[in-house]
Structure 1
Amino acid sequence: MFHHSTALPLPGLLHDRLDRAATDLLGNSGLKIDFSRPTGEPALVPASSVSWVVFKNQISMFIGGIAAVLLEFAEPKVRDGVWQHSTFRGDTLTRLQRTGLAAMVTVYGARSQAEAMIAGVVRRHGKVEGRTSGGEAYNANDQDLLDWVQATAGFGFMEAYHRYVRPLAAEERDALFSEAQPAAKLYGAVGAPRSQVELDHLFVAMGPRLEPSPIVGEFLSIMRDVPALPGPARPLQGLLIKAAVEILPHWIRHRLELGPEWSLNRLERATVTVAARSADRLLLRSSPPVQACRRLGLPDDYLYRPMKR
């Protein structure tokens, strides 16, 4: 059984301000996606899915995205591939916006838009190759790296929602992995986990490769300073970064040498939880999930109505 959270009614002026801020967060990446078109075209993931409910929460998505990057940066090939070939250090905000928009397109975008976007990513990744600082050769389309990136993203988004919004039942967690399979295959991540059990096995198998790096600390410093959140939410940013560290498996956090300075105290944890649960009820008319509902002829509050599954 699965239930939605009810929408939080907002005064018109407040809604418009938050709606505009949220739209700017994705829209300034330089990529323009209209989630309301083409009319009637389904997404890679059905509207009745667990993914459509989980991915609508912008607070837990932010937390989960940071946790995913930390896990990716624990693997030396992924870490050096990103750091050596991307614009992350020089243009952090645009990179974050594009990554967030890509996640939205994968879940809410029309299938044709999602397939075209993923094909473009795969083409660009084919040109990303080199050697790590330890001398290992890599290509961004290596299957083991694609599987790890897919797994860490799935873990981050799922665990952030589970920890700070509401607990996800075992069948919901498995559903999130199975719902991600169509996109994973398009990316080439054909060995990505299809269940919580498979994720647990992958974490154990990857254990010997995961290691600390100064790049992890540099990434966290960048994330503290970059204006990633809209102005009114900016004071939360540091807490959300700590919240991301807290959802990492304890042994991986220890391996990355992320000590107690990255832990939330009781008040901070309560603040993050209130923010995440409030975001789960925040219906913003220009947001990808609402626009996607309109594309499919569903009401704006479809994802906010009590529902049995």
Structure 2
Amino acid sequence: MANFLKTWRVELKRALTGSPDAVPAWVPKLAEGEDAGYFQPGSATWAVHGSMATIVAGIRALLMQALHPGALAGVYDHSDFREDPLGRLARTIQWIFTVTYGSTHDAKSASDRVLRIHERVNGRFIDGHGVERGYSANDPELLRWIHIAFTDAFLSTHRVWGRAIPGGPDAYVREWVRAGTLMGVNDAPTSEAEMRRMLDKWYDDGDLKFDARVAEVVAFLRRPPLHPTLMPGYRVLFAAAVATLEPKYRDMLGLQKARLGRIPLPVATATKAVLGIVHLALSRVGPSELAARSRLQRLGLLER
């Protein structure tokens, strides 16, 4: 049992950070910088992104993002998600936490680095109306879809497994507009209601679709190549992500809430238990937040 737990903890860290036994090199650098950054302690963003519910949110966001054929084409044609899914996850986490906890310089640099990579991501796709179109990963419309799918996922999962958000859900949506702006997003929503209207418009206009590519991504997310010790917990988290989807998107993806015959399984309770175990295995306060607090203390912006 001791060896199992040791292996599980090592593989958990590897899955979330890309590093099995040490804090990634970019994390201590968050203590550097000469300003408070875009978000600080007490912000809605720190509250949401400091929650273990972000693990479920990541799965949910990927499921939603796959429904836009232009966004999916960029990932499908140019990403190495099949060969190195954990590497892609680690890079995404690095960007999120750098923007959340880093200085404004570091947040801008991390976003600019992603945008430069996006410059090479372009091609052709068939949209939801059967028309062939060109795509670019830096297309403001595709960036807005990614931004909103992300924001919706983090807010929806936090509502179930997180604590109260300072200022409420609207504060998180409004604050995270800054991240969208750094990534070239135009007209990002500033309230939860506006975000829902934008999502509904994509759906109602027929811009989203399910096809063989989406089915492949869903199958991959259902059974990713994780270490065997992580799979039981991951299955619970995947079921949790599916349960938080609006029924119309769940139906589009061909997914259903977890059941045993006709009996719904207690996914919310099981997920709370899994996230609690993960929380115990990791630091109670994440290393990125600790690094940010160190920077704020050095600058005299936070009491020790």
Q: Which segments of structure 1 move beyond 6 Å, counting only runs of 4 or more?
A: none
Find the counterpart in structure 1 of residue 90 from structure 2.
97
Find the counterpart in structure 2 of residue 8 from structure 1.
none
Find the counterpart in structure 2 of residue 292 from structure 1.
292
Find the counterpart in structure 2 of residue 256 from structure 1.
253
Deviates more, 1:34-43 or 1:199-208: 34-43
- Distance in 1 (CA, whole Å) between partners of 2:141 and 2:15 is 34
Q: Secondary structure at the match of 2:185?
A: coil
Q: 1:34: how far off? A: 2.3
Give deviations 1:226-261, integer Å, cap 9, x for gaps.
355895x54210110111111111112112222345
Contact kept in structure 1, 2:258 and 2:267, CA below 8 Å: no
Find the counterpart in structure 2 of residue 184 from structure 1.
180
Q: Secondary structure at the match of 2:97?
A: helix
Give deviations 1:132-191, integer Å, cap 9, x for gaps.
14522111111111111111111111111111234658x411111111122211111121
Find the counterpart in structure 2 of residue 26 from structure 1.
17
- Distance in 1 (CA, whole Å) between partners of 2:286 and 2:196 is 37
Report sequence identity in percent.
25
| TM-score normalised by length of structure 2 | 0.81
Contact kept in structure 2, 1:229 and 1:237, CA below 8 Å: no
Deviates more, 1:197-206 or 1:284-293: 284-293
Find the counterpart in structure 1 of residue 271 from structure 2.
272
- Which of 122, 125, 140 lines up with 1:132 in the alignment? 125
- Whichever residue aligns with residue 161 of structure 1, its letter is H
- Which of 89, 100, 111 lines up with 1:118 in the alignment? 111
Find the counterpart in structure 2 of residue 153 from structure 1.
150
Find the counterpart in structure 1 of residue 208 from structure 2.
210
What is the RMSD of the two structures over their aligned residues, measured on CA atoms? Answer: 3.2
- Whichever residue aligns with residue 202 of structure 1, its letter is M
Alignment gaps of 5+ in structure 1 = 1-13, 303-309
- Which of 35, 38, 46 lines up with 1:52 in the alignment? 46
Contact kept in structure 2, 1:105 and 1:114, CA below 8 Å: yes
| TM-score normalised by length of structure 1 | 0.79
Contact kept in structure 2, 1:76 and 1:211, CA below 8 Å: yes
Find the counterpart in structure 2 of residue 199 from structure 1.
195
Deviates more, 1:104-113 or 1:262-271: 262-271
- Distance in 2 (CA, whole Å) between partners of 1:287 and 1:139 is 34
- Distance in 2 (CA, whole Å) between partners of 1:34 and 1:101 is 12
Deviates more, 1:190-199 or 1:132-141: 132-141
- Distance in 2 (CA, whole Å) between partners of 1:237 and 1:48 is 30
Find the counterpart in structure 1 of residue 62 from structure 2.
69
Alignment gaps of 5+ in structure 2 = none
Q: 1:203: how far off? A: 1.1
Contact kept in structure 2, 1:174 and 1:196, CA below 8 Å: yes
Q: Give aligned pairs, total.
A: 282
Cα gap change, 1:197/1:24 in structure 2, threshold over 3 Å: closer, same or farther?
closer
- Distance in 1 (CA, whole Å) between partners of 2:85 and 2:294 is 32
Find the counterpart in structure 2 of residue 222 from structure 1.
220
